[in-house]
Amino acid sequence: MPRSLKVIVLGAVLVLAGCGRLGPAARPPGPIGRVRVLPGAGRPAYIYSRTTAHDLRPDLARIPPRVYVPNSLSNTVSVIEPAAFAVIATFPVGKSPQHVVPSHDLNVLWVNNNGAGSLTPIDPYAGRPGRPIPVDDPYNLYFTPDGHFAVVVAEALRRLDFRDPHTMRLIDSLRVSCRGPNHLDFSADGRYFLVSCEFSGELVKVDTLARRVLGILPVGGMPQDVRLSPDGRFFFVADMMADGVHVVDGEGLREAAFVHTGIGAHGITVSRDGRLFYVSNRGWHTVAGGPHGPGSVSVLDPLALRVVATWPVPGGGSPDMGAVSIDGRALWLSGRYDHEVYAFDTRDGHLLARIRVGAGPHGLTYWPQPGRYSLGHTGNMR
């Protein structure tokens, strides 16, 4: 059977009413975030139900909305005023900035300078960078749901470094056997998380509290971004070489389905109402002789496992990572190989703007965003 048609029945929806004990008594202080169950018989628990346009934290409403774009080949961050679709500032950071990541408490934006071995803090109220903090190989950055640890994904070193989320002091380190760990997401109750390893085609399951590997799932291809489904049952993993998303049962650590999206599937952004995934398809493969094509965005219904719309980039492009606006009406994505940023209208998918930025724009974020706390990356809000 062709891979794009391989779908395994997922079964009944499980309603998650919260989390029980998560492990030994030596758990870190603070609660792991609970799942809010929406009213209505038989309805699933939507883990993104607290990230709607009405859920912007009052203190964040004072922050002027901005799009922060790390230019990994220019070693700068471009700042876009979204209402004007214009770059209003550019400032230098460390070598090879990869992602701009909201802190767990939503008070700082961290620029991941993995080529320089540092994190640059940005004050989102002033829009200005602070003094870099030395951190080994910070390709990506996440936070445990209880906010007790920052999890630095040290891709080249094959490590997950657990650090103080404020000072970034190293507390513990977990070496993984896979090659190229890069993105992750947590289970609904926070007991474990799945890490994608792009260079060995594997997913690694890690116990959050014990900080140890629980298992490895080979999926092949080049797995990239990881996002939990709205009902908290399955992980969706974009695969840049398989041109779609793996649907993974994290509890059983097995692949349950695969959905074809487009060439170079890379990033997964959650819609503002939490019910759709925007899968950015870069449009070409990074291996010699691989297929090429225009970049696009696939609008995926993660519960129905169905692509409901496809938005091409007019004239071609390379949509990568991004975030949605506060009201959810605009999807902002970096154009990784085209030195530009795209803004799509989420109502019909037409391109609102393409804005020239520095070279190699990567994991941009729109800030502020609604939610109670950040799990990291470019705004994985809960």
Query: Domain of 205?
Result: 10-367
Residue 184 and residue 205: Cα distance in Å, rounded?
10
Answer whether residue 244 is part of any domain: yes
Q: What is the per-residue DSSP string for 100-157? A: EEE-TTSS-EEEEETTTTEEEEEETTTTEE---EE-S--SEEEE-TTSS-EEEEETTT
Tens place of pLDDT per residue across the chain (382 aa): 444 434 333 333 333 323 322 222 222 323 333 333 333 333 345 899 999 999 999 999 999 999 999 999 999 999 999 999 999 999 999 999 999 999 999 999 999 999 999 999 999 999 999 999 999 999 999 999 999 999 999 999 999 999 999 999 999 999 999 999 999 999 999 999 999 999 999 999 999 999 999 999 999 999 999 999 999 999 999 999 999 999 999 999 999 999 999 999 999 999 999 999 999 999 876 554 555 568 999 999 999 999 999 999 998 899 999 999 999 999 999 999 999 999 999 999 999 999 999 999 999 999 999 999 999 999 999 9
Cβ(162)–Cβ(173) below 8 Å: yes
pLDDT of the residue at 290: 55
Answer whether residue 61 is part of any domain: yes
Cβ(42)–Cβ(200) below 8 Å: no
Q: Name the nearest CA neighbour of 251 among 235, 239, 238.
A: 235
CATH code (residue 127): 2.130.10.10
The token duo for 354 is 């393409």
pTM: 0.88
Residue 118 and residue 112: Cα distance in Å, rounded?
7
Answer whether residue 372 is part of any domain: no
pLDDT of the residue at 286: 54
Answer whether residue 196 is part of any domain: yes
The token duo for 141 is 């950055």
Answer whether residue 304 is part of any domain: yes
Q: Residue 55 phi/psi, 5° resolution?
A: -105, 20
Answer whether residue 120 is part of any domain: yes
pLDDT of the residue at 297: 98
Answer whether residue 4 is part of any domain: no
pLDDT of the residue at 21: 26
pLDDT of the residue at 355: 98
In the chain, the number of structural domains is: 1
Answer whether residue 172 is part of any domain: yes
Alpha helices in 167-260 (DSSP H): none
Counting runs of H as helices and runs of E as strands, what totals does the chain give? Answer: 0, 29
